[in-house]
Structure 1
Amino acid sequence: MQTENNDKPSMVMNLAVVLLALCAIGCRETHSLFSDRWQSSPPQTTPASTGTLHGSPGNISKGSSVFLSRKSRDNIGLTVVPLVLTTAWKVVELPAVMVDRPGVSDRGVTAPIDGTIVFIHAFPGTTVAPHAPLFTIRLVSDQVHKSQLELFQATREIDIANRQYRRLSELASSGALAQSRIYEIENQLDRLQATVEAYSQDLVARGLSRENIDSAARGEFVTELMVRAPPDITQSESEPMDSSQSFSFEVHSLDVELGQHVEAGKVLMHLADHRSLFIEGRGFKDDMPLVQMAASSNIGVEIDVDEPDLATWPAFQEKLFIDHISNTIDSASRTFAFFLRLENQWSTYEHMGETRLLWRFRPGNRLRLRIATEKMENVFVLPRQAVVHEGPQAFVFRQDLAVFQRCEVRVLYEDRLSLVLANNGSLHVGDRIVLTGAAALDRIARSQQDSSLPSNVHVHSDGTLHDPRANP
């Protein structure tokens, strides 16, 4: 009897162990079941906003809407703006390049007389103000020395004749001297004065300044000549970034060396003045009517320049007018040229005590010209990255708090920069449309629509695919 009483506790303990084992197995199976269901459901994030949504994660149509929190939107880099109706133009893009404006942009400095370069005052990259010294030339022309000598001699003879005239005028007035003698002296003075003027003009033509000629007339003969920068005669509307700065030419190239003998008329250096440039556009024969209409109707042409340092310059007029159209066609390329006048912008900086120039635009810069052809009114204009394409269909994403609805739209026109959407009721004024990040949203929407992915493959909020199979 005592033995039966001892066996009862052991049976109870065995039964408890079996029940605990069964409970553990059931918990494990339940956890596995719910875990699989959790992994197979599409990823959704909790909205950061506490406002009332037009949709919730349970009510969002699969593949047509994306539900993102504010942090997820920041990770993708979404930019959202309200829609507005506007007027757009169909455009034709033509290639162009910036070139010097003939007779205005660049100019050469020539030697006014035969001589030897004994000093160079400016070098490439430096700036020189108008009338600033550029070269010192030692004169080697015998004709220049002879003209100075003859000028000095004629000037001295005039002084002698004037003294003789004053002395004999008193005698002639008293009757002691014939009046004809006075007439001879006056004629001599006229001849000497004509000689002085002739030699003065000869020296001017050879490059001597009025100060040099006056010095030669006093007997101080000029042996060296200073070549100076030309005056600023360009009527340009361009302005520096600092209005207190005065313009200076920039030395573009130096074409002689120290000690070199030069002849009159030889180019010594080239000075650059890029304040006023030309934009040379190129078009084919089919583009001729369009360009001629834009020129005759004074229609502004939009310029598209790729500027990496755009923020460092002031606002710029992006529409220019055609100045003239070339009267010839290039026989090799079969294209014609047309030109737009461009007023450049510039600034200065100091380097080792010298002033340097910085130009916003330079000859050789390539750009595109956008010429308007057809007007479209009451339309929506969006950048290309705001619209995603799926075959012939086009979609944009419209924001409703944290929900981004995929909306099909009709594209009326598109070019390299933007698209024009029809105002057909699919979108409304004031709708908040995603400008940047639409491609990432589209990838998330596609992943929600694709049910063939394994349960452990999903798309992150930044649009990247998470697939453990790629990293075993």
Structure 2
Amino acid sequence: MHRYLPVAILVALGALATVGLLTKEHWLALFAPKQEQTSGEDSPGMALPNEQVLLTPQARKNLKLTSVSLQPREYWRTIQIPGVVVDRPGISDRGVVAPVTAVVTSIDHFAGETVTSGDRLFTLRLVGESFQASQTELFKASKEHEIVQEEIDRLTPLAESGSLPRRDLILLRNQQRRLDVSIQAHRQDLQIRGLSPQQIESIAGGTLVSDVIIHVPDGWRQDESGQSDLASVFELQQVHVEIGQHVQAGERLATLSQHQSLFIEGSAFRQELPLLQRAAEEGWTIDIKLLENSEFEWSEPMPPVTIHHISNTLNDDNRTISVFLPLENQVRTYERDGHRLYLWRFRPGQRVQLEVRVEQLENVFVVPASAVVHEVPEAYVFRQNGDLFDRKPVHVLHETPSEVVIANDGSVPPGIYVAQSGAAQLNRVLKSQAGSAPSGVHVHADGSVHTNH
């Protein structure tokens, strides 16, 4: 019997080892240290459930938090192009030239003044022989025409009675037609030289003109009612002559500026050309932002503009291309010394920024840039629910320095109230609340931790 005792002991130890191995999870738990149970209520500074930030009304005021309901809308993605206001060739500036060789005897307006069509600008004393000859020839032709007409009136009854050959009457009428052509040519010549119809009639009657008055020319266009609009108002930009100066026919006397119709010249990179071409073809409106503060507050909104044409050549830097947009100016008036003067809102040389539409996004949310916080690759907004702010992940489709476009993909439903600012501060508070702050401390709205007193 003692001979089998060692064998029995070995069998018993093997059985105990097998049972211990199979039940180790139960008996090892008896020796593990007990963990202290904590909760958000028992441990100040611990994380709140569902990524929520708890703020007092005072903390919300400190952060200047406001919440707005999310509503889906359409949004245009844009690109920004620098631009400058420029004169419109052939429209903005206009030269006034001397129609004849003459001497300047008076100047009625000077640089900086506002003039309208028909105003008197200069008086010129004639010194050219051709002008005097044209006047003389008009007078002579007019008188000969009167003489021929009198002869025709006298001979017509004789020709009708047969006592005078009709051939003589026909010759007189042919001479009269030649005089009509000569008179018309001389009248046209004098009109081109700047004489009024009344002056031309006076010359035909024998009173020759020695002075020519230069008036402000007519405006370029009229409005729908047929009345002249501001296109007939000019600024006398520069006077090129002085009293007593001898000027030749065709020499410039003054330069007039008309700032009602201008151009914006934008400068775009070559890779942006396809986007601009599409905007031009579709006729999409482009928003203007002035980069320089205006001297006055203008109640009128910025006028909408569209692309007029795109340059077919590259600029001197060989990297950019010019795009031109027509700009209708806005004006104010004031009275000074009995004259009405004009103040234009846009002036050549002003710098602007163009927001060119390139893509339309539909059914999206648009919030201020400060309403979104980024933690690559995530982006979050904070939904307000009373004193709680829930952090919600969102999909950012597009963003600018001032606003962010969010996809309406169900991550945040329409109609909820989202904080419009302070997303970065709320995120710091959330991280602080998620930390293991010990008992006896509290977390401020800016994320700082302080000991309770």
TM > 0.5: yes
Which residue, out of 210, 214, 218, partners 1:227? 214
Q: C-alpha offsets along residues 387-427 of structure 1, whole Å, 9 cap, x if unaligned?
A: 34456554434333455555444322212332112334443
Pairing of 1:105-124 with structure 2 (within 5 A): 105-124=92-111
Q: Quote the residue 2:395 is aligned against.
A: 410
1:381 is aligned to 2:369: no
How far 1:84 sits from its partner (Å)?
Answer: 0.8
Whether the 8 Å CA contact 2:114–2:236 is kept in 1: the answer is no
Q: Quote the residue 2:347 is aligned against.
A: 362
Change (3 A) 1:107 1:464: farther
Which residue, out of 183, 195, 204, partners 2:191? 204
Q: Quote the residue 1:51 is aligned against.
A: none
What is the one-letter code of the residue matched to 1:103?
G
- Bigger shift: residues 290-299 or 176-185: 176-185
Q: Quote the residue 2:420 is aligned against.
A: 435
Q: TM-score, normalised by structure 2?
A: 0.73
Q: Distance in 1 between matches of 2:173 and 2:137?
A: 20
Whether the 8 Å CA contact 1:98–1:279 is kept in 2: the answer is yes
Which residue, out of 235, 251, 260, partners 1:251? 235
Q: Distance in 2 between matches of 1:437 and 1:100?
A: 45
How far 1:106 sits from its partner (Å)?
Answer: 2.2
Q: Quote the residue 1:312 is aligned against.
A: 298
Q: Distance in 2 between matches of 1:189 and 1:335?
A: 66
Q: Distance in 1 between matches of 2:274 and 2:229?
A: 43
What is the one-letter code of the residue matched to 1:139?
L
Q: Quote the residue 2:16 is aligned against.
A: none
How far 1:466 sits from its partner (Å)?
Answer: 13
Q: Quote the residue 1:67 is aligned against.
A: 55
What is the one-letter code of the residue matched to 2:263?
F
1:134 is aligned to 2:124: no
Q: C-alpha offsets along residues 194-250 of structure 1, whole Å, 9 cap, x if unaligned?
A: 43233222222322222221111112211221212222233679xxxxx99865423
Q: Distance in 2 between matches of 1:446 and 1:349?
A: 61
Q: C-alpha offsets along residues 114-158 of structure 1, whole Å, 9 cap, x if unaligned?
A: 222222233333322223222222222121112212222332333
How far 1:436 sits from its partner (Å)?
Answer: 4.6
Q: C-alpha offsets along residues 24-67 of structure 1, whole Å, 9 cap, x if unaligned?
A: xxxxxxxxxxxxxxxxxxxxxxxxxxxxxxxxx99994995352
Q: Distance in 2 between matches of 1:174 and 1:378?
A: 97
Q: Quote the residue 2:257 is aligned against.
A: 272
Count of aligned pairs: 400
Q: Distance in 1 between matches of 2:54 and 2:101?
A: 82
Q: Distance in 2 between matches of 1:438 and 1:361?
A: 39
Q: Distance in 2 between matches of 1:367 and 1:118?
A: 44
Whether the 8 Å CA contact 1:236–1:275 is kept in 2: the answer is no
Change (3 A) 1:191 1:339: closer
**What SS is found at the alignment partner of 2:143?**
helix
What is the one-letter code of the residue matched to 1:202?
D
How far 1:187 sits from its partner (Å)?
Answer: 4.7
Q: Quote the residue 1:351 is aligned against.
A: 336
Q: TM-score, normalised by structure 1?
A: 0.70
Whether the 8 Å CA contact 2:303–2:327 is kept in 1: the answer is no
Q: Distance in 2 between matches of 1:275 and 1:211?
A: 32
Change (3 A) 1:130 1:450: farther
Q: Distance in 2 between matches of 1:231 and 1:305?
A: 32
Whether the 8 Å CA contact 1:104–1:234 is kept in 2: the answer is no
Q: Quote the residue 1:156 is aligned against.
A: 143
Identical-residue share of aligned pairs (%):
40
1:328 is aligned to 2:316: no
1:291 is aligned to 2:276: yes
Q: Quote the residue 1:15 is aligned against.
A: none
Change (3 A) 1:123 1:432: farther
**What SS is found at the alignment partner of 1:312?**
coil
- Bigger shift: residues 361-370 or 174-183: 174-183
Q: Distance in 2 between matches of 1:323 and 1:412?
A: 31
Q: Distance in 2 between matches of 1:269 and 1:278?
A: 23
Q: Distance in 1 between matches of 2:430 and 2:274?
A: 47
Q: Distance in 2 between matches of 1:392 and 1:188?
A: 97
**What SS is found at the alignment partner of 2:91?**
coil
What is the one-letter code of the residue matched to 1:143?
S
Change (3 A) 1:347 1:78: farther
Change (3 A) 1:198 1:90: closer
Q: Quote the residue 2:83 is aligned against.
A: 96
Q: Distance in 2 between matches of 1:362 and 1:466?
A: 56
Q: Distance in 2 between matches of 1:334 and 1:442?
A: 43
**What SS is found at the alignment partner of 1:119?**
strand
Change (3 A) 1:197 1:88: closer
What is the one-letter code of the residue matched to 1:285?
R
Whether the 8 Å CA contact 1:117–1:261 is kept in 2: the answer is yes
Q: Distance in 1 between matches of 2:341 and 2:424?
A: 46
